[in-house]
Amino acid sequence: MRLIFPPEAEAELIEAACFYEEQVNSLGEEFLDAVDLATDEICENPERWRVLEAGVRLYLMQRFPYALYFLIQPDQIQILTVKHHSRHPDYWLNRISK
């Protein structure tokens, strides 16, 4: 199944990777590797992850304090947000209708 990162989610991903890279050399790359692992797991079995509302599912990352919120669509999986746990839980909800 095809994986889509809309511009907002891609920007969050890049921002987080840059932040970690500034903290410790290669930590940004490790964050991106962890996101790759997460998206591989999501694509392998997307219905495994808990449904929150409006069909949005939640994947909690293991090493980093981030979650991926995603929608399963007929021909793709759309990552709605790459959300740090400290962010307001509802800031991304307007992305569901996009």
All domains of the chain in start order, with CATH:
2-85 (3.30.2310.20)
Model's pTM, two decimal places?
0.88
Q: Please give the mean pLDDT across all residues of the chain.
A: 91
Instruction: Note the pLDDT tens digit of each residue in 35-85.
Output: 999 999 999 999 999 998 889 999 999 999 999 999 999 999 999 999 998
Instruction: Note the pLDDT tens digit of each residue in 74-87.
Output: 999 999 999 998 88
pLDDT category, 1, cuts 50, 70, 90? Answer: confident
Closest C-alpha among 31, 39, 48, 34 to residue 1: 39
Q: How would you classify the pairing of strands 2-4 and 76-84?
A: parallel
